[in-house]
Amino acid sequence: MFDYKLLSALAAVVEQAGFERAAQVLGLSQSAISQRIKLLEARIGQPVLVRATPPVPTEIGRRLLNHVQQVRLLERDLQSQVPALDEEGRPERLRIALNADSLATWWASAVGEFCAEQHVLLDLVVEDQTVGLKRMRAGEVAACLCASERPVAGARSVLLGAMRYRALASPAFIARHFPEGVRADLLARTSALVFGPDDFLQHRYLAALGVEGGFEHHLCPSSEGFIRLIEAGLGWGLVPELQVREALARGDLVELLADKPIDVPLYWHHWRNGGQLLGLLTEQLIAAASSKLQVLS
């Protein structure tokens, strides 16, 4: 069998984004971690890590990490049957990549009870969908919640529902830029908000209105910050309806064009050999999503 001491060192360096922190987490010296990585590389005959900041796994390193992640989940199933195996009685950590807007809205209430009952600690990673799936492929996360349907090799994806987004701005922003009412062609000449370089929701909204090409925008990679910037009149942007029901009711935020939402589907990706815990979480999410997300027809 593989030497899991070496593989754990590799996993810790990548998960903790550095040798120093990996050493802390494993309770080893930094040089012990280095030696384990070197030994692993000597056995395999090729490097497993690019020594950048943070360290990046090589192609072969990724395959090893993927394997570690799956072994950990299988170990958990075994431990529930053979409790003595569980050396430290520690709760299981589940590493999950998800989009910021889900985390800011419905995610917590969907998983809260599950985590308490199963004694699971969540290790959440906020990522755009492309990066989230890359992390799946790299074996860095056990599951991923994103807008893309196609699963990576070895994983399954299931549609949970959709998040409804509405294009909003502050009343002051609308009064300043659109004194005679919001017009699609003028919209592209005001400032928009964009979550990050992978966020094309605002582009899609403008394209659906027949407005093509670039537009001025701020970049704000924070769900809560996004809404704060809109409220402060810095620009318009697409926001999950779930997050702004009260602000809309109060009139702090206003929809630019009446009832033109965009629905973004959410797929739950999980390892096929992810074990019982991931299976239970998947069931729980499917059940919870039906009341929290839009049903896509």
Q: Which residues bind a second copy (CB under 8 A)?
A: 16-17, 21, 50, 52-53, 56, 91, 100, 103-105, 107-109, 111-113, 115-116, 121-126, 176, 191, 197, 216-225, 228-229, 231-234, 243
Nearer to a second copy, 85 or 108 (CB): 108
CB of 91 to a second copy, least distance (A): 6
CB of 81 to a second copy, least distance (A): 23
Nearer to a second copy, 156 or 215 (CB): 215
CB of 126 to a second copy, least distance (A): 5
Please, what sign has the CA dihedral across residues 99, 161, 194, 232? negative
Nearer to a second copy, 79 or 156 (CB): 79
CB of 201 to a second copy, least distance (A): 17
Nearer to a second copy, 16 or 129 (CB): 16
Render 16-80 in DSSP notation, one character per residue.
TTSHHHHHHHHT--HHHHHHHHHHHHHHHTS-SEE-SSS-EE-HHHHHHHHHHHHHHHHHHHHHH
**Contact predicate 49/19, CB 8 Å:** no
Six-digit token string for 15:
């998960």
The three-state secondary structure class of 195 is coil
Strand (E) or helix (H) holding 84? none
CB of 229 to a second copy, least distance (A): 5
**CA 197/CA 194 separation, integer angstroms:** 8
Nearer to a second copy, 118 or 157 (CB): 118
Count of helix runs (H) and strand runs (E) in the chain: 13, 11
